Amino acid sequence: MNKKAFIFDLDGVIVDTAKYHFLAWQKIAQSLHINFTHEDNELLKGVSRVRSLDIILELGNVQASQEDKDKWLIQKNEDYLSYLVDMDESEILPGVFKTLQLLKEKNQGIALGSASKNARPILEKTGILSYFDVIVDGNDVTNAKPDPEVFLKAAQLLHIDPKNAIVFEDSVAGIQAANIGGMTSVGIGEETILHEAQYIFKDFTLIDESFIDKLIN
């Protein structure tokens, strides 16, 4: 059986930490008298923390010094981390654990490719850190998606050619990054949003062994 690189995004793919990001950003926005909605939050998917703050400030037409921005970025991360304290395996999205087990049984390379700088503690708290051969997160890359750097680095560390890599993503920027990197893109979410992906599933419960075998062979 061929060995491929299966690369997973974190937020919205393995765990639903997006809700915690939203609450932390909303708290910052409210302190600046900016109305920040769930619809606005869609603009932040797959985007770095620095760019996310800029988007929120643009929404409120707020000008800020770099000193204030740095302060708010630290505050946002502290608020976000406070929500993660009680995370456990119940936070893993449906079907993900089964897919990881299946890939492990088939001796496939498994990597995380995420913009999150808190990836390791999240994987530890949810009990699945040991499933990942390689972790590439926001601490390891300089270019945000749709730049494919995070996925290319993960494939490189697994010693797998990018054309033999499969990326699971829930954001448009992430799908674009996989496609730009010459990888197979699998969208997890809504078809109307992720239509650039080569394959699209509502969630991992719809991904079965025959599909995994098709990707491997």
What is the end-to-end Cα distance of the chain in Å, rounded? 7
Coil vs helix vs strand at 124: helix
Helices (H) and strands (E) in the chain, counts: 9, 6
What tokens appear for 210 in the block? 């025959």
Residue 40 to residue 82: CA distance in whole angstroms: 23
What lies within 8 Å, CB to CB, of 163 at 6+ separation is 182, 183
Residue 148 to residue 17: CA distance in whole angstroms: 22
Q: Is 11 a catalytic residue?
A: yes
The answer to whether residues 163 and 8 touch, using CB atoms and an 8 Å cutoff, is no
- DSSP-derived pairing of the beta strands 5-8 and 134-136: unpaired
The secondary structure of 3-26, three-state, reads: CCEEEECCECCCECCHHHHHHHHH
Which one is catalytic: 11, 86, 88, 133?
11
The answer to whether residues 214 and 207 touch, using CB atoms and an 8 Å cutoff, is no
Residue with tokens 């699971």: 168
Annotated catalytic residues are: 9, 11
